[in-house]
Amino acid sequence: MRIEQKLASLGLVLPPELPAKPGVSTPPHWVRVRRGIVYLSGQSARNADGTPAGPFGKVPSEVSIEDARVAAKGCALALLATLKREVGDLDRVSAWLSVTAMVNADPGFPATSAVTNGFSGFILELFGDEIGHHARVSPGMAALPGNAAVVIGATVEIDGGA
């Protein structure tokens, strides 16, 4: 419960799941756990009631870099919420492996990494360098689900990959 105590000491709360969409039969399979590896679907920041928090739109013309950076941290909280629901205790995470950090970007926007550092810096702060560091791709996308400014997916090892 070390990680969750750290979250609490930072005043951070993990958001609940996104409510099911009426009329969509495909269940939101956010996560797959297999042989010590957790595959997490791309997620955007969520409000305290589980709904998409935004910001929505293009970085930087519609959403500022700073707001997008906060959204990237919100993606981390959303992924952690899913991870906790799935594996029970976030302390089971033994290594972040790879991160797909996607920014809803204006064409040619060169600072997508500045945005997604909001995610990576937070994960490092929370898990420490040894467990938290990860490989990352950080492209700017033409579009993202729900027009979210930032969506992030990840692959994480638990229990030493046992």
Tell me how far, at minimum, the Cβ of 107 lies from its own copies, in Å.
5
Binding of its own copies by 53 (CB under 8 A): no
Provide the CB-side half-sphere exposure for 8 (13 A, CA): 6
Q: Count CB-CB contacts under 10 A for residue 134.
A: 19
| 92: contact with its own copies by CB under 8 A | no
120 near its own copies, judged by CB under 8 A: yes
- Tokens linked to 16: 């609940």
Write the CA distances from 68 to 20, 47, 121, integer angstroms: 25, 15, 14
* Using rule CB under 8 A, residue 9 touches its own copies: no
Closer to its own copies by Cβ: residue 16 or 57 = 57
Window contacting its own copies (CB under 8 A); options: 4-12, 21-29, 66-74: 21-29
Q: Is 47 in the site for its own copies (CB under 8 A)?
A: no
Q: Which stretch binds its own copies (CB under 8 A): 9-17, 66-74, 118-126?
A: 118-126
Do 14 and 80 meet the contact criterion of CB atoms below 8 Å apart?
yes
Which of 6, 50, 57, 84 binds its own copies (CB under 8 A)? It is 57
Closer to its own copies by CB, 75 or 77: give it. 75
Mark 23-50 as b/e (b = at least 16 C-beta within 10 Å).
eeeeeeebbeeeeeebebbbbbbbeeee
